[in-house]
Structure 1
């Protein structure tokens, strides 16, 4: 039986070094070489020998190439677009280059670097997470097992196969359920298609790469054949958490002090909300938030579960609370949870214990999300937002499982980009 390799499915064409060299070459020519030639042609300065211009060209080249590399890795993840996710990365790359030049007092051409930033960012905008011709092609589905789930994906062209014959055409792909009990004729079709250079996808990996969700049906379903996510990234992630939380605390401390005063002045109650939640490995911890609701005595039983659910236009939300919930500033005190090692900057959001117990009773494998540290923001939050019903929680759980399965630096970078969009737009808040 055929099988798939672990890791996120790359829907692009196979890596072609010639194409990569051409793409990077075109970008470097537009961003760095063209302004050098322009300066030299106008005879304003001998651009190719002037130390200032050469230093600027080197800084722009490093920013461009590192930015394109990061953008390329992030745009391989589900639902990404150059305009939304590539632009911030490219701006950050050139911003860091300018910061280094300024910090070390290296003289450079501001106009040259500004042009390079604008041109490099525009180039990133034109990139897509998936080739246009791939979207235009039709995926031929082997009609056995669960492969027919591909037809449920909106705006994704599929056609059910009726015979074990390789479809005609220059841009064809086949989707099959590799775990289905296929006859020898259909097994032979998949083998011959692969030998002929026709892409053959396992339906489940294709669904994961398109939707960004992982539906676990068996506990053994993990990228590494193990229940433990990518351990090589864990120490790096902890270092990022410590450095990132310290920087964020320093930068947001004035905002947090102002919010503390504003919340206290509104009703003369404590500005903080502290609640025990389930963390990494199922261990409880005390999570900090800015209080966004009116103070109330703790409920018990089913009332406690209902009390933990935030409803649309919830009357318990204060005036200040409605604002800080929309822009997620009520979560800022959790930076101290991150610094203490109880949370991460990125991971599945920790639920109130009353809700977590309820979800575990009705949703299989719910507790598996605790295999990684809970986070300030996560893959489910930037894709789905706030939810309350069991049906929505099941979808949210699939997003959490996707994060665990493809646990990596690149996915975290994408979540940071989307979190910025979430904060600006208020997506998914209640």
Structure 2
């Protein structure tokens, strides 16, 4: 299927560079250009603007490749992050620059990226043909895709341009006849990718189905060991850099909890044993958000409108401020900023017996936030836990800095909206 011109990264890069970096330079510096008297300040400013817009467009391209997220949400955080990096470089090396030019360029960059993402979303709705056999019918409940049912009379060789972005089939179903196999082979020859149903479901939902995760697939879920080391370093740097703000918020939250519990003398922190990397126990810290003796009858999953949660506890759960003490766990090496949420021992023992491959989520360090948290929220029963585990497996399989950055952005969004809080 012919791609829209705007879907090509090179087109967006060139257009963005011309609009954001070159256009304001021509308008503001035209006299200097004509007189051949270009200043170092102007050169530095154009280079800074060019670097910022190129990095922003590439960053948005990488962040929006993951499923189940609205691309518009990533625009402002991406631009702010890139602008901060470029600003730090200018200040550290004491390079002269034009504030007026960079201000105009920044506004144009913001408008361009928003408009670009609007156009991109409008032209990138996938049209996927599917063979109506086996598990393909289960894909039809996935939104933002135009599904077209194929028939045996479909002749891919008769199309100069295939009308689909892709074709999907349940390649393991016994009902897939030789006639269908020949049609799928011809489709691939004509240049349209043919995918198995499991690949498509994973890429569109951000979940890796547990029931199809056989032993010979586990090798694809091994996280990058080099990124594990880099991730540990980044966690430490982020905590050190954000410490002043985090400590201030933590002291305020602790003071309110202390005042709230002034009559029952309950501790400010909730301390509990959780399962970490490799299935090892560690002590996890949280701000107390529930009433005293909330788990007197044993460990229980949080539910919607949980009566055990205090009024202020509900607020810090929605904003995720109750997780701030876990920065201590990250510094100790028990946790990471991003990863699967650590579970209680009772739940882990139960899920190990009832959910296949549940232990595999412990191959990486648990996190304060994670892909399952920002995509699904809290789980209140075993069925929801299975869905969250599919998100965890997707995270482990796609373990990367790009996915972690996207989770950070969506975590901020979650803190502002209270998504998934219980």
Tell me, in whole angstroms, the C-alpha distance in 1 between the residues paired with 2:370 and 2:72: 21
Give 1 or 2: higher helix fraction.
2
Tell me, in whole angstroms, the C-alpha distance in 2 between the residues paired with 1:405 and 1:221: 14
- Pick from 354, 369, 385: which aligns with 2:377? 385
Q: Give RMSD over aligned pairs.
A: 2.9
- 8 A Cα contact 2:291 2:308, kept in partner: yes
Unaligned runs of at least 5 residues, structure 2? none
User: In the TM superposition, what is the alpha-carbon distance from 1:231 to its structure 2 partner?
Assistant: 2.8
1:266 aligns with 2:256: no
- 8 A Cα contact 2:134 2:170, kept in partner: yes
Question: Cα deviations across residues 50-108 of structure 1 (Å, max 9, x unaligned)?
Answer: 22121111111112212222211111111344421132112210122223323444332
Tell me, in whole angstroms, the C-alpha distance in 2 between the residues paired with 1:297 and 1:80: 35
294 and 166 in structure 1: CA distance in 2 versus 1, 3 angstrom threshold: same
Which residue pairs with 2:367 in the alignment? 375
226 and 196 in structure 1: CA distance in 2 versus 1, 3 angstrom threshold: closer
Q: Which moved more, 1:236-245 or 1:104-113?
A: 104-113
- Pick from 27, 33, 38: which aligns with 1:38? 27
- Pick from 356, 360, 364: which aligns with 1:364? 356
User: In the TM superposition, what is the alpha-carbon distance from 1:45 to its structure 2 partner?
Assistant: 10
- 8 A Cα contact 1:276 1:287, kept in partner: yes
Which residue pairs with 1:289 in the alignment? 286
User: In the TM superposition, what is the alpha-carbon distance from 1:199 to its structure 2 partner?
Assistant: 2.5
User: In the TM superposition, what is the alpha-carbon distance from 1:415 to its structure 2 partner?
Assistant: 0.5
Tell me, in whole angstroms, the C-alpha distance in 2 between the residues paired with 1:334 and 1:176: 45
Which residue pairs with 1:321 in the alignment? 313
Unaligned runs of at least 5 residues, structure 1? 1-10
The 5-angstrom pairing of residues 17-56 of structure 1 reads: 19-41=8-30, 49-56=38-45
Which residue pairs with 1:93 in the alignment? 82
Tell me, in whole angstroms, the C-alpha distance in 1 between the residues paired with 2:226 and 2:19: 38
270 and 174 in structure 1: CA distance in 2 versus 1, 3 angstrom threshold: same
Q: Which moved more, 1:44-53 or 1:370-379?
A: 44-53
Tell me, in whole angstroms, the C-alpha distance in 1 between the residues paired with 2:216 and 2:371: 17
Which residue pairs with 1:72 in the alignment? 61
1:186 aligns with 2:170: no
User: In the TM superposition, what is the alpha-carbon distance from 1:131 to its structure 2 partner?
Assistant: 6.0
163 and 34 in structure 1: CA distance in 2 versus 1, 3 angstrom threshold: same
- 8 A Cα contact 1:71 1:90, kept in partner: no
- 8 A Cα contact 1:81 1:127, kept in partner: no
Secondary structure of 1:304's match? coil
68 and 100 in structure 1: CA distance in 2 versus 1, 3 angstrom threshold: same
- Pick from 87, 93, 107: which aligns with 2:96? 107
1:156 aligns with 2:156: no
Tell me, in whole angstroms, the C-alpha distance in 2 between the residues paired with 1:201 and 1:297: 48
227 and 25 in structure 1: CA distance in 2 versus 1, 3 angstrom threshold: closer
1:119 aligns with 2:125: no
User: In the TM superposition, what is the alpha-carbon distance from 1:190 to its structure 2 partner?
Assistant: 1.6
Q: How many residues align?
A: 413
Which residue pairs with 2:125 in the alignment? 135
- 8 A Cα contact 1:78 1:210, kept in partner: yes
Secondary structure of 1:157's match? strand
User: In the TM superposition, what is the alpha-carbon distance from 1:196 to its structure 2 partner?
Assistant: 0.9
368 and 35 in structure 1: CA distance in 2 versus 1, 3 angstrom threshold: same
Which residue pairs with 2:399 in the alignment? 407
124 and 163 in structure 1: CA distance in 2 versus 1, 3 angstrom threshold: same
TM-score by length of 2: 0.89
Which residue pairs with 2:329 in the alignment? 337
31 and 96 in structure 1: CA distance in 2 versus 1, 3 angstrom threshold: same
TM-score by length of 1: 0.87
Tell me, in whole angstroms, the C-alpha distance in 1 between the residues paired with 2:367 and 2:313: 21
Tell me, in whole angstroms, the C-alpha distance in 1 between the residues paired with 2:213 and 2:418: 35
Tell me, in whole angstroms, the C-alpha distance in 2 between the residues paired with 1:402 and 1:80: 14
13 and 277 in structure 1: CA distance in 2 versus 1, 3 angstrom threshold: farther
Tell me, in whole angstroms, the C-alpha distance in 1 between the residues paired with 2:178 and 2:231: 46
User: In the TM superposition, what is the alpha-carbon distance from 1:365 to its structure 2 partner?
Assistant: 1.9
User: In the TM superposition, what is the alpha-carbon distance from 1:328 to its structure 2 partner?
Assistant: 0.5
1:211 aligns with 2:205: yes
User: In the TM superposition, what is the alpha-carbon distance from 1:111 to its structure 2 partner?
Assistant: 2.0
Secondary structure of 1:316's match? coil
- Pick from 168, 187, 190: which aligns with 1:175? 168
- 8 A Cα contact 2:170 2:196, kept in partner: yes
